[in-house]
Structure formats: C-alpha cells, structure tokens
Chains A and B, each alone.
Chain A
C-alpha cells in the first residue's frame, strides 16, 4: 500500500510531469494532482479512449491485452496505463 503511494509521489516529482490521475473502475477519479474540472474532463475522455483501444486489441486476439497507451501531442504527452480495475493517467511535457 505504502509502496504504491511512494511510487505515485515519485512519479509526480519527476522532471516534466504536469499531473497524474488515478481512476477507479467506475470512472471516478480517486487521486489527482490537477484541478477538478480538468480532471473530470481528462477522465471522461481518456476512459472512453482506453476502452476503445482495449477493445481493439482484444478483438484481434482475445488473449492479448492492452498494457499501455501513449498519446503524444505538440505540447504534452499523455500516458495511460490501464489495469483490471484502475486507470492511471500521467501528463508529461517533454524535457527540452
């Protein structure tokens, strides 16, 4: 339990990380470092995208599963790591 909290803290402390969100299975963010409205927006949109991505992978081969989803944009990079029950989102801007 504490290890995970540690890890989350460390992730937030890394260079370039703007924010991190942890979402539970129902789509409710349980930990976030961003403000409420942004969090809700990110969660709503990324949840759907993750579901779609996962569905795609699994449709092709049911034994496969999505481990990681990365969206690189001009300004940031959004990383989503889905789990069985959770979803972890980290937004990082490139270190340049």
Chain B
C-alpha cells in the first residue's frame, strides 16, 4: 500500500485537503478511478460497475468528524535518519553542548565514475597509449615504450627539471713561498734549587734597599754616583782578578797548613814523653818561624796577641840601636799562615811597643822610637795610621817605651796611656780625628841628679802596667831602678815607690790573679815578686844574666816566665 501512500503524500504536498488514510485511500482510489475514468471515458463507459466502496478489512473505522478533521502534513527537507541529538564537548563551558545544525544530507545512491578529463596528465597519458596501440608494431611498441618510458620519465618529473652546466675558466694555481730568517735561538737551561731562589730574593732585597737609598739621597749623591759608576766600569772591564783575594787567601792558608802539617799537629797536641825523665828541664818546642823579607835588619821589639782572634798577633819591628837608620814596621801574623804576614804597616821610625785594644781588636796603638804614638785601624786598608801624634800635639821627647789601652772614658772616647824615655806618663784620647794628650804624671828624677836640674833631666820610664781590677792604679818602672805605683787620679805624686833594682827595671807586671802581687825584672840579673803593701819583695830570683822580660802565666797565679840576655827562657813556679 506504499505506492499509493506516496502518491498520496505527493498529492498532499500540493496542499490539497487530506483526510485520513482511509479517506486518502478512498480518495486515491477515487482519484484513480477518476483518472481511470477520465482516461477510460474515452475507452468506454462500459466498465462502470463497481462504484461501490471496497473497504479493506483492516481499515480503521473512523467517525465522520474524524474523517473531516484536517490534519496538517508538512514537507520538510529533514533527513529522518540524521541524529537530532548530537552533543559535543564544549571546552569553553566545560560541558556537553547539543549541536543544533546537523548535516541532513542523506545519500541514497553513489556511483564512482571513470571519466578522466582529457587535458589532465592522466588523460594525455591514456590518449598516448591508445595511439600506440593503434599503430600496433611490436618493435615500435617497444621503442615507443622505451621512449614513452623516457618521455614518461620526463613527464613524470613533476617539476620539469632542466639542468644546465657550464665550466668557468679556472685560474692556474701557482705556488709562492718565502722563507724568513729564523729568530735567533739560544738554549737556556737553569736549575731551580732552593738556594737559587734564596739568592734571587737576597739580591732583590739589596736592589730595593739601594733604590730606597737612592731616592733619599739622590740630589747629594749624584756626583758620587758618577764617580762610582766610573769605578765600576773600570772594574768590570778588566779581567778582574781582585775579587779573587779572598779565595787566594784561603788557598794560601791551606797550602801552608799542608806544608806545616806536623807543626800544626804539634801545636795542638804536643806531648813529649821524655819530659818525665828530664827533671827540672822541660822542653820548649819551637813551632813556627815567621819571617818577612822586608823586615830584615829590624829587630823585633814588641809582640802582642790579639785578644779576639787568638791566632793573630802583632809584631813591632824597630831597632834598639839608637844610631841606626830610622825605619820600622808593624806586622800582623796569623798562625794559620806562617809564611806571610796578614797586615803590613810601614812606620816612619822604629816601633818600640804595640798594644791592641781589648774590645775593639782592630785598634792598635803603637809607640815609636821617635816619641810619636800612632793608632792604626786594621779595618781600613790604608797604610797610614788613623791618628798620629806630632810634635805640636805633645809627643814624647824620648822613645815611647810602653803603650797601654784604657777603658773608654766618660765621653766614650778611646784612650791609652804611654810612658816614654822622657819621663812622662801621658794619656792620649782619641777625639774625632785628633789625639789629645794629658800628662798624668812625671817621673821624678833620681836623687843623684842635682836639684836644679831635676826639672830638665828626667828619668826614663821603661815599663808600665795597669792593675787588672783597679785600673786606675798603675805601676811605672824606671831606668833608675825604681818602681812607682801611681794612680790616674793623682797627678802630682805617686802613691808608693819601691826600690826595686840596682839597674834599669825592664819590666813590671801585675799578677793577673792576685790583686796585690806584681813582678819585676831588671838588668841586675834579678826577678823580684812584690806585694804592693810591703816595701820589700816577697821573692827574689837571681838569674845569671840580665833579665829583659818577665810575664805571668795566664792560667796560673804562680808561674812566670823570664827571658834573659843569653837567649834562654825560664819558667818558674
């Protein structure tokens, strides 16, 4: 019944009154019949029977009102199969939203065609193929196929690529090289030791100090620097050997030590086993003989050990003969080098006595034959004495017999005392560059001299010694045989006078240990030991010849040595 249904609907589109389906059917049937009737009217009115309504059995029975009811039927383009409730998640709202506009297209029938546009690539291809087939020979086909293949290949390149190549003119390559002179090279090698680093730092320090000094004294020292520069240049130019002095000195000493090896050993360790058998006589082994060529003809007049450097001693050379030519030397020897003196000083007249300062062992006082006293400074290289007394500054009128250093006075000036043949005991003070003298005392004349000549003729002093502890007490020995004890603070009178010898007293010395004892020796063959409180000697020794010198042993208070004119030395205890 669908067909009539559709027809019915079509008709209903045409907006005719539509009744209930029954009615429709009826109507449809009616209309058909009408049509049929229309058509058939021509044919024949013969078939007219059956105008009676045929009711299908399942037709609804509706009342006439219902049959007359107008039911509106709308025709829409909606696809009844399309979903009407499609929802999609809306991210903006965060919830599902119904989509109103749904695609309503319903595809009823689909057929893919196989028509190709003849202008398109595929169309052309196919047309070409057809052309080939129509020509029909195999070889050609093959060729064509090949060509076509090529053509096809060409054609298949989508971009229709064209290649064009051309060759440019290349410049012929050339090699140009040049060689430079290699930089001058020198091999440098050094070791970095701890001491090399230390050396460098020391030098750096010196340099910095120098630069500081230069900055400070720049203006004043410009001239000095110039002169110094000249000197330095002169020194470095020559193949300078002067710096070798130190090394040469050491070598000389070593060579000497080798030569005199036995002597050196004896010096340290001499022990003569035969001593025990000899009774009173001992042995005195001469160790060294020190000679100096230029000192020939001069007699040794004075000896003095250096208190600081135990192997250094001073030798004064002069002559005892008053008529001989005036010449003298002061030499310093060290036991380490017995062949050559360390220091040599030439003096204008013979040296009579030498004394080295106790503390400042480079200051040497020298008493000369002509009455001058001089002071040498060993630290300075010059040959001249640092201080010299001249006639105007109160030098002695006779030979200076003894000089002795004193302690520094209150102004801390060095001073020393000398006694001479003119009978004066003079104290000399080193003030800046001069020697200032002060008479301490004058030796009184002997009784034998008539009174009115007493002031003129003086007795010569021969020896002088200062007390070890109370160094203002001193003893002076005279040619007349007397020993005077004086004090530095009493300038007019002596404290004590001892009648010591009948002839010249050649030496008087305090005992280094006993404060009251001193010893004296004289040309009257006697050596006497005195106590200063007693007028007469405690001990007297008679030696066979005149005694020229006597000395206490430094280690014992009871031993002394004496030397006599016959060349013998005696030790007494």
Contact = CB atoms under 8 A, between A and B. Distances in A.
Interface of A: 1, 3-5, 7-8, 10-11, 14-17, 20, 22, 24, 30-31, 55, 58-59, 62-63, 67-68, 70, 77, 79, 81-88, 90, 92, 94-95
Nearest to B340: A10
Interface stretch (B22-30, B239-247, B541-549, B563-571): B239-247
Given A11-B252, A62-B197, A88-B247, 8 more contacts: A10-B340, A15-B259, A55-B191, A68-B250, A70-B254, A83-B244, A88-B248, A94-B258
A16 B195 contact: no
B406 interface: no
Given A16-B259, A55-B195, A86 B247 contact: yes
A10 B342 CA distance: 13
Name the residue in A7, A31, A77, A85 with the highest tally of chain B Cβ atoms < 10 Å from its Cβ. A7
Contacts, number: 94
B193 A58 contact: yes
A75 B104 CA distance: 134
A69 B256 CA distance: 15
Contacts of A90: 251, 254-255
Contacts of A84: 243
B265 to A, nearest CB: 14
Interface in B319-359: 339-340
Closest 9 CB pairs of A and B: A58-B195, A62-B198, A81-B247, A62-B195, A83-B247, A7-B248, A88-B247, A81-B250, A81-B251
B244 A22 contact: yes
Contacts of B252: 7, 10-11
A33 B248 CA distance: 15
A11 to B, nearest CB: 5
B333 to A, nearest CB: 14
Contacts of A95: 258-259, 261
B251 A5 contact: no
Interface of A (DSSP majority class): mixed
Interface of B: 191, 193-195, 197-199, 239-252, 254-256, 258-259, 261, 339-340
A8 B252 CA distance: 8
B193 A59 contact: yes
Contacts of A79: 251, 254-255
A21 B248 CA distance: 11
Nearest to B256: A14
Contacts of B194: 58-59, 62
Contact of B247 (A17, A24, A82): A82
Contacts of A24: 239
A84 B255 CA distance: 21
Nearest to B242: A1
19 contacts: A3-B245, A4-B242, A7-B248, A10-B339, A11-B248, A55-B193, A58-B194, A59-B193, A62-B195, A62-B199, A70-B254, A81-B248, A81-B251, A86-B241, A86-B244, A87-B247, A88-B251, A90-B254, A90-B255
